[in-house]
Each structure stands twice: as structure tokens, then as C-alpha cells.
Amino acid sequence: MAETLNNHLWVRSEKKANERRVAIVPDDAKTLLEAGYKITVEKSAQRCIDIQKYADVGCEIAEEGSWTNAPKEAFILGVKELPEGDGDLVHRHIYFGHVYKDQPGWQHTLNRFVNGNGTLYDLECLVDEGGRRVAAFGYWAGYAGAAVAVKIWAGQKMGNVPPLERVDSYPNVDALLSDLRGQIQTIGEKPDMIVIGALGRTGSGATDLGLALGMDITKWDMAETASGGPFPEIQQHSIFVNCILATPECPRFVTAEDIKVADRRLSVIADVSCDPESKYNPIPIYNKSTTFDAPSISVVSEGTPLDVMAIDHLPSMLPLESSEDYSRQLMAALIDLNEPEKGIWGRALNDFRKNLARL
């Protein structure tokens, strides 16, 4: 393939704290290079994959944060949001923008694209002709979210305040499971769990974590929540993992009134979908995301405690597996990046233009 204006991929470093993922791994970068693409990868102090592995397959290496000086025709590929700022965005960016659901600051971010004549291809909007996302971190978000919920539950049982001081990333899944099994063995009992959205990617991940620990799991999806609530059954589980995205049609799963019941067993909510600032939040008992450094919010401290976890980059708890999985999925789209106004990319571009029209 001859070099064109549409075949330079610039993999930027991530600035979000504890974000160790990357959207493309070296083996897949090699495939793109062999297909004629040019790939530049920035150095990163926190990425889970060493920069030398990208150099070994033939990628060009750039300094951390140097994407602002990249050639204008380059596609800037990241995972999470860009660093905050007021500078005009002149490039074509590919990342999870979090600006299409009226999140705080969405207008400011989109105006940066307008002022710079840049473009956002939101990773969440890369969908096939049937509207299904072609690549998602959902499975590992669900897996990690359920794992953090178990850690919080264990901390409650041990009387820790807060129940979990911080979340750290693990080198692999086996290390995570070994840690969790050790905590459960120390306590001498297991929590049970209800997963809503169990048939999706995220719900499958949460369910698989529970199965790996031998937990009793109740699996709900659209059929079980079609009544619109209330759902007293949720209160009778130790852990509730929400894997349903906030939409106007989504019922409220847990409200301030629901958690007042005297016989509540529910003590941990893992809101993996994590959209607390949306007016459609299905768990309107908290209003801000949590972080690796402060994983949970205490909603009830007297009697049976209730803590909410809502970390918005959970797969970074297992950065290697989640990056390899996501990169493998994303490759089907990246191989067609030389035609950014057609197919998958064209649909994401239309979403960008529709949201610009809302400004």
C-alpha cells in the first residue's frame, strides 16, 4: 500500500492516573505495518507494554505527550480522555471521548475540535451495520468491577474503614484470583452476587469472575427488568454489579428509598457502566465517579454498610489482558482506516457531526 494521508497512526501516551492500557499491542501494530501503515508510538511511564516491544516490530518511537506536534494528517489513537486544556484540536483523534451524553465539559471539548477543525472518531461509536460495537473493553471492565466489589466486601467484613484503601493493577488474571481467594479464605465465607446486564460483554466478565471464585450468581437482563422496578430482589444479595448503560429507557435499579429496607443484605454496588453525572443514572444514590486511589463511596455507614464503586477505567486493573483483547477486536476497523469516511469510520464521523450540531 502506498503511503497516503490516511495511513499514519500515532499512539499517544495516557495521562489519566493509573491508566496503563493501550489500544493497540505490538503484534497487531506489526500487522498494520505490514499492510503499509506508518505507526508512531509515544514513550509512556505507565503503559503496561514496554516501548522496546513496539520498536522491535518496526514502529517509530516518539517522546511522551508529543502528539500535539504530530503531522496534521496523523490519526491520534488513545484510550481515555485527552489532557485538559484550551488548545485547538487540529488532528483526527480516536479515543473514548465521553462527550456525547451531556457530561460536564462536553461543550468545551467539542468546541476545541471546532476551533481546530479537528475530528473525533469516538471508540464507543465504532459500530457495524447492525449498530453493535466492533471493539469494547466491556468484558474486562465487568471482570475487574466484580473483583473490586469482592475486595470491598472483604474489607467490610474485616471492619476496615474505608473498606478498600486503593486499587492496584495486576500483572495477570491469575495473580488477581490468587489475591481474592486468599481474602475469601481468611474471612471464611463468600458473598453472593446479582449481575444486571448479564447477557452482554460486561455482564459476562462479571459473571466469569464470580464463577472463578465459586460464588452464587443471579443473572438478570432485559426480561427481568422490563417491569421498570422497584426491584427488592437486588437488596437480598451481598453484591450488585450493574452492567447496563444509562439511557432514557433504563429503569432505576436502586434508589434512596430502596436501601431503607430493614432486611437489606446488599452492601456493595459495583456500577461498572459508571455514568453518575447522567440524568439517566439507574443508581441515583451517588453522583460522582470513584478512582483507583479512592475506590468507593460510603452511602450507608450505620447497620449494614453500603458502598458504591464507580471507577471509569476498570480494565486498567488488568491492563495486559484487556489491551490484548481490545487490540485484537479493534484491528478489524483499523485495517480500514485508510477510508475514514466509509463504513465503521463513516458512522463514527456522522455521530461526531451530529453532536457538533448540538453546540
pLDDT at 144 over 50: yes
And the C-alpha cell for 180? 481474592
Q: What is the pLDDT at residue 5?
A: 73
Average pLDDT (255-266) is 95
2, pLDDT greater than 50? no
Q: Are 95 and 81 in contact (CB under 8 A)?
A: yes
Q: Tell me what the mean pLDDT of segment 274-291 comes to.
A: 91
pLDDT of 34 strictly over 60 = yes
Q: Give pLDDT tens digits for 102-136.
A: 888 999 999 999 999 999 999 999 999 999 999 99
The model's confidence at residue 9, banded by pLDDT at 50, 70 and 90, is: very high
Transcribe 95-119 into DSSP letters: E----SS--TTHHHHHHHHHHHT-E
Q: Indicate the pLDDT class of residue 246, thresholds 50, 70 and 90.
A: confident
Q: Is 182 exposed, middle or buried (0-12, 13-18, 19+ CB in 10 A)?
A: exposed
Q: What is the pLDDT of residue 1?
A: 37
pLDDT > 90 in the chain, percent:
92
* pLDDT exceeds cutoff 80 at 18: yes
**Catalytic residue positions?**
80, 98
What's the rounded mean pLDDT across residues 213-229? 96
Rounded (10°) angle between helices 343-356 and 106-116: 110
The model's pLDDT over 154-194, given as tens digits with 9 standing for 90+, comes to: 999 999 999 999 999 999 999 999 999 999 999 999 999 99
pLDDT value at residue 3: 47
C-alpha cell of 89?
A: 484540536
Select from 276, 84, 239, 222 the least CA-distant residue to 155: 239
Query: How confident is the model over 59-98, as pLDDT tens digits?
Result: 999 999 999 999 999 999 999 999 999 999 999 999 999 9
Mean pLDDT to the nearest integer, 12-29 = 96
Mean pLDDT rounded to a whole number for the chain: 95
